[in-house]
Amino acid sequence: MLKRYTFVILLICALLVLSAGISAQAPVEKVDLDAINKIKEEGLNRSQVMELLSYLTDVYGPRLTGSPNIKAAGEWAKKKLTEWGVQNARLEPWGPFGRGWTLEGFTANVIEPQFIPLIAYPKAWSPSTNGTVRGQVIYLDAKTEADLEKYRGKLKGAIVLISPPLEVRAHFRPQATRRSDEDLLRLANAEPPGGAPVQRRRPDANPEQRDAQALQMKKWEMCYKEGAAVVLEPGRGDGGTIFVGSVTIPSPPDAPFDRRPRPWSQDAPAIVPQVVVAVEHYNRLIRMLTKGAPVQLEVSITSRFHDRDLMGYNVIGEIPGSDLKDEIVMLGAHYDSWHSGTGATDNAAGSAVCLEAMRIIQTLGLKPRRTIRIGLWSGEEQGLLGSRAYVAEHFGRRIDQQQGRGQTSGSAQGGAPLSGDQSSAPAPRFELKPAAAKFAGYFNLDNGTGKIRGVYLQGNEAVRPIFRAWLAPFKDMGAATLSISNTGGTDHLSFDAIGLPGFQFIQDEIEYDTRTHHSNMDVYDRIQEEDMKQAAVIMAAFVYNTAMRDEKLPRKPLPGQAPAQPGR
């Protein structure tokens, strides 16, 4: 009996010691619930996020980098921040970027054998046509490089259909979706990342696709060399939605992104006028031609290039801190958009959320310990240019062999994310500025209008217990998932690439890839108001929590460093 009693006492003592040890290793993250509740109350009951969003889209949209619209939108944001009492609001230049571009007039119609108005839109940085181009259409129907020879000498001054028809399928699944429990569980159970972001990356092309890409580039080369009057191609999307980007300039399909000719550069080559046509209308044109109909079109593009100011601009503003005011917490989103819609889900949504988060914190009179700084970036659609320039100017840059390698806006130019197994690659080198040591964290929003469902940890396991505590007050609003995954495609990568803690939120998809992202239907009416309110409240809370912690957020180790300990 005595032995059993002694054993029980020893077991209890051991459990107490173990419990104390666990508590010492993983202290509970402090959350100021009174401040969080105030943020919720202000952000949900007196929200201005939709009014901000309407100005960004209806008044200042679209906001193509280098255009007068994005400059005016920046001045407007600076004024709003100043009105709220945000200090040092400014437009901070970077660059030079290059030429701006605006569309001033456009028509595209079938005029023979009958009149048919086309749903279509010029590509960004397309030059004007030489007045209204009228004439018979040539379909560049070549399946091999040898097939192209029959068109040689026939394209000068012609209206050219450059691509084969695209299949249009019925939509048996909803175009708008929210993340399912299974999807969120998959994200939560993801394996630690292996280096590069996996979210939103296109799979590598197979040999057949590479051959098709090479042939398509040969077609473009012929159109340029022979002097086609205007080139038409089918748009991705259907039902009146077309996705439109920048003009095509012939270059090898495998050429790195940042080594391809850039249409906004002052030294860009002469460009053939280019138009994207709704797939159903484009396909009809080809069917008419293959049946021998004498199809004639009239196309007119009037565009303007802006060369007076070649710089890009980021919008910056601050809520000063107190005892830790020399340390910085940042929130941000890209401010630029493509040109065919008004840049609502991509990315007036994220920009309005960040502005609203600043308004909430300032209106409530919360006194952050660290300085809170907003950054609204331009040049994201051209390769994260604005945020990369800002990080390089203020915090540092990566100077290893990766610098300058070609990458799309789906990856951080100047260096891959610092996570995963890098044993096979030479260790990256960095040139960090003193301000980098005082950087506490960056939070980004750029995946459309969907509500926040959690956070991508970007391979930084040490922040998991911190973010879990911060999400707890928002579990009833649908935000609870933490994924160790990297995600690509946006401006947090500019910070992550040099070892600074930068994060993108997990969001519901809604119609982002199916209907709005880079499309002519990326407009105010596709925005989900309640989702925007929820996102602004969570953004404000995360930024405020970061500003109030005793310690900065833990960082992933730079190569050669020991892993960071869980956050305190």
**Tens digits of residue pLDDT in 111-140:** 999 999 999 999 999 999 999 999 999 999
End-to-end CA distance of the chain, in Å?
45
More confident residue, 401 or 317: 317
Contact 26, 566 (CB under 8 A): yes
Alpha helices in 276-347, H assignment, sequence order = 279-290
pLDDT tens sequence across 284-296: 999 999 999 999 9
- State yes or no: pLDDT of 402 exceeds 60: no
pLDDT at 3 over 60: no
Output the average pLDDT for the chain.
Answer: 90
Euclidean distance between CA atoms 25 and 424, whole angstroms: 33
pLDDT of residue 204: 64
Is the per-residue pLDDT at 392 higher than 70?
Answer: yes
CA–CA gap between residue 531 and residue 362 (Å, rounded): 22
Burial (CB count <10 Å: 0-12, 13-18, 19+), residue 566: middle
Nearest to 263 by CA among 249, 244, 243: 249
Mean pLDDT of 245-265: 89
What pLDDT score was predicted for residue 207?
A: 81
pLDDT at 15 over 80: no
pLDDT the model gives residue 27: 73
pLDDT at 197 over 70: no
pLDDT band at 239 (very low <50, low <70, confident <90, very high): very high
Q: Is the dihedral of CA 125, 127, 132, 134 positive or negative?
A: negative
Sketch out the chain's domains with CATH numbers: 33-97+311-422+434-454+491-548 (3.40.630.10), 100-306 (3.50.30.30)
CB 420 within 8 A of CB 194: yes
Mean pLDDT of 309-334: 99
What mean pLDDT is predicted for residues 421-444?
Answer: 85
How much is the average pLDDT of 510-522?
97
pLDDT value at position 258?
76
CB atoms within 10 A of CB 119: 18
Mean pLDDT for the stretch of residues 534-548: 99
Structure tokens at 159: 């209206």
Structure confidence at residue 259 (pLDDT)? 83
Whether pTM > 0.75 for this model: the answer is yes
pLDDT at 253: 77
* 414 — pLDDT class (breaks 50, 70, 90): very low
Mean pLDDT of 334-354: 99
Judged against a pLDDT cut of 50, whether residue 24 lies above it is answered with no
- What mean pLDDT do residues 79-103 have? 99
- What is the C-alpha separation between 100 and 364, in angstroms, rounded? 39
Nearest C-alpha neighbor of 62 from the set 294, 246, 284: 246
Closest by CA to 183, choosing from 513, 536, 478, 465, is: 478
Closest of 497, 412, 409, 487 to residue 454, by C-alpha: 487
- Give the model's confidence band at 386: pLDDT under 50 very low, under 70 low, under 90 confident, else very high: very high
For 150-156, what is the mean pLDDT? 97
Secondary structure letter of residue 510 according to DSSP: B
Cis ω on the peptide bond leading into residue 62 (within 30° of 0)? yes
Of 369, 377, 368, 392, which Cα lies nearest the Cα of 331?
377
Average pLDDT over residues 454-464: 97
pLDDT at 404 over 60: no
pLDDT single digits (tens) 480-493: 999 999 999 999 99
CA angle 106, 110, 116 (to 5 degrees): 95
Tokens representing 361 are 């914190």
Phi first, then psi: what are they for 230, rounded to 5°? Answer: -165, 145
The pLDDT value given to residue 568 = 34
- Provide the percentage of residues in the chain whose pLDDT is more than 70: 87
Is the pLDDT confidence value at 429 over 90? no
Using DSSP bridges, classify how beta strands 439-444 and 430-432 pair: parallel, antiparallel or unpaired: unpaired
